Amino acid sequence: MVKINDLALAYGKFDFKRGWFDLVVEADSKEGQISGYVKPLFRNLKVFSLKQDIQEDNVLQFFWQAMVGAVTKVFKNQPRDQFGTMIPFSGDASGQSSTDILATLANLLRNAFVRAYLPKLEDKPQTLDDDFKFEAPDISDPVSPGESP
C-alpha cells in the first residue's frame, strides 16, 4: 500500500504506513447493459501512526489521518485483519452508471462484523439467460429404447 501513497495523498489526503491490497472485479454485459461489483480488500492495513504523523503532518492533516485510521480500525474484520466492502454497480453503453451506496455501506458492515469477504469471485449460479439456468439432468426415470422422451 505504501507504493500508492502519492495517489492516496492526492485524492484522500492521507497516506498508508503498511498493508496489502486485493481488488476483485466481476462484470456482466448484455444488450448494452453492464452490471457487476468491485470488491476492494485491504489486509494488514495501518493508516495512522501517532509518532510518525505528529512529526510529519500539520494539525489538520494529523486529525484527518487519525480519523481515517480510527474508521479503518473500527470497521475492519478482526480475525482476518481486513478492511473491505463490495460495491455493486450497473450502467449502460451510453456511459450512464450508478452504484448502490446503501448496499456498499451494508457490505462494509458485513465484512467487519458478520463474515469477511474473500479475495475471489462470489459464488453465483451461472446463467445464460433469465429463463435458462444450468441444472443437473433428471435421470431418475429410465428411458426405454422404444419410448419417446
Look at residue 136 in the predicted model and tell me its pLDDT: 63
Distances (CA, A) of 14 to 46, 60, 93: 11, 11, 34
d(CA 116, CA 101): 19
Whether 13 and 61 have beta carbons less than 8 Å apart is answered as yes
Give pLDDT, residue 75. 95
Predicted local distance difference test score (pLDDT) of residue 89: 93
Query: Which backbone phi and psi does 41 adopt, to 5 degrees?
Result: -130, 125
pLDDT of residue 72: 93
- The tens digit of pLDDT for each residue in 126-143 reads 554 555 565 666 666 665
Distance from the Cα of residue 138 to its chain's centroid: 37
**Confidence at residue 56, expressed as pLDDT on a 0 to 100 scale:** 77
| The pLDDT of residue 122 | 86
Tell me which residues of the chain have a pLDDT lower than 70. 124-149
Instruction: Please spell the DSSP secondary structure of 16-28, one letter per residue.
Output: -SEEEEEEEEEEE
Distance in angstroms (rounded) separating the CA atoms of residues 8 and 44: 17
| Burial class, 135, CB count within 10 angstroms (exposed 0-12 / middle 13-18 / buried 19+) | exposed
Residue 99 has what pLDDT? Answer: 87
